[in-house]
Amino acid sequence: MAEAIAAYGRTAGHVHADETSWQVFEDIDGKDGHRWWLWTFVTGQTTVFVMDTSRSAEVAAGQLGIDREQAALEAGRRLVISSDFHKAYQSLATIDGVDPLWCWAHMRRYFLRAGTAHPELGDWCDAWTERIAVLYRAHHALAATLPGTDAHEDAAGRWQRAFDDIGAHRVLQARDAGKGLLHPAAAKVIATLTSEWDGLARHRELPQLPLDNNPAERALRTPVIGRKNFYGSGAGWAAHLAADVWTVTATAARHGIEPLSLLTGYLDACAHAGGTAPAGAGLDPFLPWTPKGRARRPPASDPRQGPGP
């Protein structure tokens, strides 16, 4: 079932991606230490978890259906990836057909950390977090209005002006940093804002998508809480099984389907088939986007998000 969910997730046009460390207490030939990585890929219909020994772009490419050797997506396909600035996503952003959409909440943390570490930067930090807050308010206002209305036109203007204001201050402060007129910690943050500006500014043309990567970060919360309690997995097979179970339960939960009931029904189907897992049409009752799968939803429930673009 997890494999079918992952395959469906690969058809989406927009995905939130993130990863966190995971301990697997099994010695693996050719690998030093026990640190693995738990990845998550959140689309409009699915939440997929992948456990791997690597944090490289190859892992993300595999789940996203990207041919790294050809350095391209399938002809005519485009993929928007919401993420932080990790080098794996930077690498994927160079592939034709992939549009990176960097996380504004992640960028905001850079300003906050600089302000916390250097109290003398308090006013500078407050000014920048307020500019980002203005951007978020404009985003919310735009989403709350109907296209073609005066309110929507006004909100669209606020949205564009928020980007213009951030862009203008970025250029001015980058110039000051080049002249040595900016605090070194502030200059470092402005350098990050400048180097990642294209992916951050791409939100301007995609106001229908979230400004941040919070859906992926929230998806990792349950495994992270588990990690704090039981430290990781004892073996590689257990780690992969955990990722598969989280894929099933998280995808079910976002469609309003009770995960335990779904897993029980799936295991019952396996038992009735003599231990053979359902396949093909036999999987339909367990996949939330199929007619039979939708029948599992409580009458008043709806998915938390609609389909991706």
Encode burial over 244-276: b for 16+ CB neighbours within 10 A, e otherwise: bebbbbbbbbbbbbeeeebbeebeebeeeeeee
Is the pLDDT confidence value at 81 over 70? yes
Amino acid in position 110: Y
Amino acid in position 65: G
Percent of the chain with pLDDT over 90: 86
What is the token pair recorded at 229?
A: 């309690």
Concatenating the DSSP letter of every residue in 78-100 gives: -EEEEE-S-HHHHHHTTSBTEEE
For position 249, what pLDDT does the model report? 95
Residues facing 15 on adjacent strands: 81
Q: Provide the mean pLDDT of the chain.
A: 93
- CATH code assigned to 1-103+213-309: 3.30.420
For position 71, what pLDDT does the model report? 67
Q: pLDDT tens digits for 217-264?
A: 999 999 999 999 989 999 999 999 999 999 999 999 999 999 999 999
Domain residue spans of the chain: 1-103+213-309, 104-200
Is the pLDDT confidence value at 309 over 60? no
For position 179, what pLDDT does the model report? 96
Is the pLDDT confidence value at 300 over 70? no
122-127 contacts at long range (C-beta below 8 A, 24 or more positions apart):
124/183, 124/186
For position 70, what pLDDT does the model report? 67
Per-residue confidence at 308, pLDDT binned at 50, 70, 90? Answer: very low
Is the pLDDT confidence value at 80 over 70? yes
First to last CA, the chain: 24
Element holding 151 (H helix, E strand): helix 150-178
For position 296, what pLDDT does the model report? 86
Closest by alpha carbon to 308, among 44, 34, 23, 94?
Answer: 44
Q: What's the pTM?
A: 0.91
Per-residue confidence at 297, pLDDT binned at 50, 70, 90? Answer: confident
Ranges assigned E (strand) in 196-257: 232-233
Q: pLDDT tens digits for 189-210?
A: 999 999 999 999 999 999 999 9
Is the pLDDT confidence value at 156 over 70? yes
Burial of 71: CB neighbours in 10 Å, binned 0-12, 13-18, 19+:
middle
Q: pLDDT tens digits for 269-289?
A: 999 999 999 999 999 999 999
Is the pLDDT confidence value at 307 over 50? no
For position 76, what pLDDT does the model report? 76
For position 5, what pLDDT does the model report? 96
